[in-house]
Structures are given as C-alpha cells and as structure tokens.
Amino acid sequence: MIESYLIEKMFNNAPFLDEMATDQGKIQPHWERLARYYEQIGKERLGQFHDEVGRQLRENGVTYNVYGDPNGMNRPWILDPVPMVFNSEEWEAIEKGLVQRTNLLNLILSDLYGSQTLIKEGLIPFELVYNHKGFLRQAHNVKLDGDQQLIQYSSDLARGPDGKMWVLHDRTDAPSGSGYTFENRAAMTRVFPDLIRENHVRKITSYYQTFKNTLSNLTKNNKENPRVVLLSPGPTNETFFEHAYISSFMGFTLAFGEDLTVSDGYVWLKTIKGLEKVDVIIRRVDDVFCDPLEFRNDSHLGVVGLMEAVRQRKVLVINPLGSRVLENPGLMAFLPKLSKHLLGEDLAIPSVATWWCGQPSEMTYVFERMESLVIRNIYRGTNHKSVFGGDLSKAELENLKREIRRSPFLYVGQEMVEFSTTPSWINGKLEARNAVFRSYVVADSENKDYTVMPGGLSRSSSEQGAFLVSNQTGGISKDTWVLGKLKEPGASPIKPVRIQPLVHNVLPSRTGERLFWLGRYLERSAYTVRLMRMTLLSYNEADEDIHIQENPVLNTLLQTLTTMTCTFPGFTEKDILKNPEPELLALVHDIKKSGSLAFSVQSFLANAYAVRDRLSLDTWRILDSISEELTRMRKSVTTLTQAYHSLDNMVVKLMAFYGLNLDNMTREPTWHLLNIGRFIESAVNNCTILRGMLSKHFDPESNKELMEDTLRCNESLVTYRYRYRSNLEMNGVLSLLMLHEDNPRSLIFQLLEIDHHLKALPVNNEAELFSIERKKLLEAITKIRLCDIDKLSAADTESHEFTALTSFLDEIIELLQDTSDVVYEKYFSHTGSSYRMMQTSVIPEI
C-alpha cells in the first residue's frame, strides 16, 4: 500500500510536493512510524478503520450543511483516517509564526478603530479599508479592556513548492471549525488509541480551557461566573452542529438572535423565567448581521441595539464587531512592511503573493498575468466568488478587466499556489490529495500573549489537482497531529480549582418552546403510528366484497385517522373512501402533507435538531436511527405491506427516544417542558381517539372490534383483560382510559402528569399560588373525576350516538387547548415566532 503510493509519486511525475514522501520516494522521518503501521495493517484493515471513524461521527451526530443544496442539510461529516502530520521542530516554527501574525493583526485592528495612524502615514491605503464592507465605522473607538482586541484567530495555511508554509486566508470575524477539530480528535482517539499514544500526539484541550479563562478575565462584571452565550444564526447554518457542540462542551448557552433583547443598555437572554443579563456573547453570526438597527436592516439573525450595548461597555462581544476588516486579502500585500514597522521583524509565515489592484502598477501586473492568477474581491461573501483566470475565455477575461477598471480598489490578484499533497484514503486506497491546514489561535489574557492549538482542522480535496479545498466543495477533513512531547519549561504551581456555583433557569424561551413542541410531535407521531397500524390491519382483513362505507369498523378507523391528523377532507369524502390506498400511503410518507406521519416525524426531528445542545450523545444516536427510518419510509414505501412494516420499526424507535430521555435527562425545565408538551398531546389524542372510535353504537361485533382497537391504540388491551376478565363493555373501556389514575394511558393520569410538570416550572409571580394554566387543568381533572361513566356509556336511543360522551370529550379537549395556549403565552410568547403543530418554516433533515 505504501510502496504503491511511493511508486506513483516517483514515476508518475506527480507535480506537487508531498507531506509524507520525498521526490526520491523516501518516507519523511516523522511519517515513518505511521507508514510502517499502514503497511502492516493493509488496505482491508485501514478500510475498516475508515468505516469505524465514519460510524463514530454519525453516532455522535456530527453534521455539516451545504448551502443551496436541498440534499445538503445535515450531511454526515467526513473524516479521513489518515491525519495531517507535523514534527515538533517544524511546528515550533509554525507556532511562532502564527503568534507573530496574530499580534500583528491585533495591532492593525486596534489602530484601524483607534488613531488610524497606519492610514495617516500611508502604510495602509485608506481606499483599501474604507471600501471594505467589514470596516464598520460604528465600531470606531470601541475597544475591549487591555491590548488584546483580537481574541480568536484562524488562518488557512498550505505548504508551497519551496517547502515553506504560506497563509492563504485570514479568519478573524467568526472563525469556525474548532468544534469539528475536537470531534475529529475524539473519533481518531477511539479508533487509533495506540497509534496516537506511540507517536506522542499532542493534546488540543488546552486551547479550549485558555479560551474559557480569557473570557472570565475579560469580563468586567460577574467575573466569578459570567453569563456567556454563543450567538448562532440557527439550525440551517453550515456549521450549526459545531455551535451546539461548543456551547454544550464549554457550558455556554446556545442562543439565536430572537433569544436576546437589549434593554436599559444591557443585553438580556429571554428565559422561561424572565430576562437574564448577558455578560459575554461569542458570536457565530457575521458582524454586519449582528445589529439590524446599525448595520443590515434586513437581518433577522442579530439583536436590535447590540452595537449600542457594546459601545456602552455593557456586554462583551467576541470577536469584536468590525474585526472582519482583517479578512481583507488586500491587506496581505502590506503585511511584510507592517510587520517591520510595528514589530520590527520580518513576517515569519509569508502570505500568498498578492497584488492589490488599487495601485496602478499592481493592476497592470495583474492584467498582464491574469491567466495565471486567482482574482478575488476584497470582501469575502456568497456574491464574490474567487475566479481562476486560467478558466476564463478571452471575452470573459476582458469583461473581468472592465469590472476591475471600474472599481480597482475592490480587487486583488493572487498567485495560484500549487500547495502540497498528503496521503488520503480515497476509493479504497491511499492517494495524494492537495491539503490545507486551518490553525486556531486564542488570546491568553493571563500571560498577555496568544496560544496556538497544537493541531487544527486539515482538509484535503476530493479530486486530484483541486486547489479549492473547502467543506462546501466536498473537501474531506483530516485530524492534525503535532508529534513529540511538549517541552515543559518547568513545573508550575497547581492552581486551586474554583467550584462554580450552580446556575439555574438559563433555558432560553425559544429552546423551551422547541422542547415543548418536541414532546408534542413525539406523541403525535406515536399515536399516528398506532392508529395507522390498526387501520391497515383492519383494511387488509376486510372483505373485498363489502364496500368500505358499509364496513362500520374500517369506516370509523379511517375517519378517526383523518380527524386526528387534521388532513381533511381525507376519508370524510366518499370518492377517497372508494379507493383509500393512495391516501393511506400519502399519510405515511408524504412529507409535504401537513399531518402525515412523515410530516410529524420530520417536525419532531427539526425541533430536536434546534435543541441538540440539550440532548445527550446516546439520544442523538436514536435520532439518527429515526431519521434513517424516515428516509427509508419516504423513498421505498410503495405498498401498504411495506408501510405496515415501516410503521412497526418507527414506533419502536420513537419509544426508544422517550425511554432514553426518561432515563438520563436531568429533572430541569428542559425535562418538564418536553413532558408538558408530550402529555398535552397525548391527552388530546386520547380524547380524539375515544371521540372518533366510540361515538356511535353499531352491532355487537363491530362495537367489540372498535373497543379493542381503541384499547390497542392506547396500549391498554392487555391491561383491560387482566383487570376485568370479562367481555368488552363500554363503561369498562371508558373507565380504564379515563379514570384509572394508575394507568399511564388514562386521561386522568396524563392530566395529573401535566400538573406535576407545571408545578416544577419556575414561577414568575411568587404571589401566584395557583397559576391560570393549572386552574384550567384542575377544571378538566375535576370534570373527569366527577363524571358519570354510566351516563357517558349510554347511547342515544334514536340516533345511536354517544352524544354525552362526545360533548364531554369536546369540553376536555377545549380545556387542554386553553392550557396549552396559556403555557405558550406565559413562557414562549416573547420569542416572536410560533412552532405550532401545523406550522413549519424550514425543517432540516437530520
């Protein structure tokens, strides 16, 4: 395997420098142990390790979203089992270069939003800065305490033909990838523990601890336990998994723009108890989207008034608003001179050669060599793609030149670096692929310097000779190993561990709302599955010679199914009853049909995805299996027999989700809100099934079948037989499903559970001894306890309908709906959006 890789490098005239092998086909010293290991295990075993790494990431729910691709939501994260490797000597030089570059950019950032001496002295052209959308004039003279303004920094590096590392891009606005880096290392550690230990691969956890310590030291107020939130654009963002992962891993609160508000100059988090003051915001939202009042007024991702709160020093935002100006590729052309001027040093890690077209001589140079350059806009965005001059026709080149002449200060030409290749596991063998390494640097406020993560996120291209390496274009991630034990300067005193006080009631209202509907969609999906199974079973057993309208059991089941799923007109129409199979199949797999099983399960998954930071790893494994079953159901269910089998699988997995959360969720507001939603939906569906199935008196055999099916839908048929040991009687069925407080499927049990969870929620008004929602619930509980079962079990002698039962259940349903509305108004109304049962906006697939 290694030998064939080396032969290909030597004899196939591979044009690029390789990380593992020299041009003479020799293994680099720091790769020798790895190469020997791969040779020993062989292709088959390495392929198994590749599958195992992928399985680890899938089970952990590691995903990535691809913009503009309908199939791109929550794609599995791809990790190459072959890492990117640096030896200790080379890493020491890279580390020093990255610290130097971060210090340089920090000084530039401080100057641009301060005295602007660099612009006044002509060291940075003012056109380069003031024409960049990332330069926010509103942030002028707004500074953090201390000299370090740039808290987090990332850069994309690649090894050029000369063997040296080059910086391709600077990332200073909202650097991403550190969460994926940690997850990559975790997966590799599980699969290759001995290999990591034998190669003395340095740990990366110190980076995260340094970041957390820096946040505490920077905070002016509440230093002991600052309220830190991670501001995310939401579940459709490309790296939302990372946002949820980092917030959960580091103990931050994941928040969207709708979760925050500005009042009295402070930023507040909307929690289910009320407003909680926010001390630090780690933003993953681009700076121009952070405040629609001062920046982009079409943004729905930010917080109105945030910039003013920052200006008044009432909240700390990391990285500072306006730091995106440092991502301007035009600055790269001036960094060598700036390094000499500000640091008195040569730039240790050079940038890729850059010519800013705002200078006439540089523009002429770019025009003369455009076919061999990459042309970029100085502002990175979806509307400004990099253009490879060599890919353009003569007409396209002329059009591009005209665009540049109109606004030369908006463009740069950059050298097309032929960066190095690294071994990657592609199509069952080791192949050379071009690779880019993303580093991570964080401010160390205690030592007044910067700390570099000993590793990072490397990515290799999926195709040979491809230089555009990113996850959006199909790049493959690689763990990055820095080999060699860390040289300790000496033993440092062990700092005492400070026990942080417990923090309660920091559940954002939006998160609480999602949990509430997560519970409702869980129960709606489960009830839909059970009722559909009963319906399909009855349909398959029905006599073909008898029309459905003449079959009281099947007709009742079908109409109850339409009522419970709210898919009217459905089976209430005679034409659909004549041929019910298309409607039945649509109720199973048509995700666009509101109320269908596929719609409900997808909505359940969407709500789970939005609160993924609140769910455990094992829970995500179950969610992944539910998602896979939903995909199979949507794509392969074409007959009612297949539908029945899929329903069996789905109900087991839904119950596994509930069982796991019953076992491992702490009894905090997250747990209570999920279960309030769950039991409200369960009680409503219980009433709906009773009302639909037992509303009319038929012949004795049909009555018996309908009562059996009603009990089966509520998982209570066996309980009935053990308790009553007699034939099915209406009053016995109603008693078991309504009055027995020890039956978890009874109406009274479900209402009492709702009350139990409502009592556990935080109280906004301490003087309120009995809340409005509990009063509504108490009225329903009292009605059930005082009801006359014999009266409800008696059918009207003329209409043969159970009118008393129907009226009673309608009253209970109305009280439950009132309870739900009060809960919503009390805890979620200020979130600004509603995720009602029949409303969905963008529902991503997991």
For the sheet with 228-231, list strands across it. Answer: 253-255, 228-231, 280-283, 316-318
Query: Rounded distance, CA 305 to CA 265, Å?
Result: 8
| Residue 119 near residue 112 (C-beta atoms within 8 A) | yes
How high is the pLDDT of residue 765? 63
Percent of the chain that is helix, strand, coil (3-state, to 5): 50, 15, 35
Contacts of 466 (CB under 8 A, 6+ apart): 434, 473
Can you spell out the DSSP letters for 177-215? -HHHHHHHHHHHHHH-HHHHHHTTPPP-HHHHHHHHHHH
Contacts of 144 (CB under 8 A, 6+ apart): 151, 218, 316, 320
For 694, the 3-state DSSP assignment is: coil
Residues in a beta bridge with 356: 412
pLDDT in tens, 104-117: 999 999 999 999 99
**What stretches of 765-844 show up as alpha helix (H) in DSSP?**
772-786, 789-792, 803-827
| Residue 432 near residue 424 (C-beta atoms within 8 A) | yes
Length of the chain: 846
Contacts of 391 (CB under 8 A, 6+ apart): none
SS in 3 state form for 773-789? HHHHHHHHHHHHHHCCH
Query: Rounded distance, CA 246 to CA 124, Å?
Result: 36
Q: Give me the residue label for tokens 């600004």.
A: 832
Query: Rounded distance, CA 753 to CA 767, Å?
Result: 23
Its pTM stands at 0.86
Rg (CA), the chain: 32
Biggest alpha carbon–alpha carbon distance for the chain: 101
Query: Cis before residue 319, ω within 30 degrees of 0?
Result: yes
pLDDT in tens, 456-477: 999 988 777 555 565 555 578 9
Contacts of 754 (CB under 8 A, 6+ apart): 676, 679, 680, 683, 777, 819
How high is the pLDDT of residue 829? 65
**What stretches of 614-699 show up as alpha helix (H) in DSSP?**
617-636, 640-664, 669-693
Contacts of 566 (CB under 8 A, 6+ apart): 594, 595, 838
**What does the DSSP 8-state code read for residue 667?**
S
Low-confidence ranges of the chain (pLDDT < 70): 7-15, 66-74, 223, 382, 465-474, 486-505, 544-546, 764-769, 829-846
Give all domains of the chain, ordered by start, each with its CATH number: 83-330+420-482 (no CATH), 353-416 (3.30.1490.270), 509-831 (no CATH)
Residues in a beta bridge with 282: 230, 318
Query: Rounded distance, CA 20 to CA 11, Å?
Result: 16
The residue type at 175? P
